[in-house]
Amino acid sequence: MVELFFGSLTLYDAFMGVLTGVAGGAVLAAAYLMSRRGISHWKARKLVHVTMATVIALTIVNYSNLSGPA
């Protein structure tokens, strides 16, 4: 069985969470505007998938609360 260890929440962790949410909202808004302007839907979806995968990967790497017990 897998056990999850969560450390104490730091200010940096909270900042990373807010930054991830803002980045996600901005990318979704950009994709929505792209589709409203008549750009192909696959381009808007590709923007969301590529950008959000990068944001999630960078967040996980820098999120100190996931590192487990010291």
Asked if 34 and 47 count as a contact pair (C-beta separation under 8 A), the reply is: yes
- Per-residue pLDDT at 33: 94
- Per-residue pLDDT at 17: 82
Cα distance between residue 14 and residue 36, in whole Å: 33
The pLDDT tens digits of the residues spanning 2-24 come to: 676 667 777 877 888 888 889 88
Taking the mean position of all CA atoms in its chain, how far away is CA 52? 5
Structure tokens at 31: 């994709």
The pLDDT tens digits of the residues spanning 25-69 come to: 999 999 999 999 999 989 999 999 999 888 888 877 776 556 554
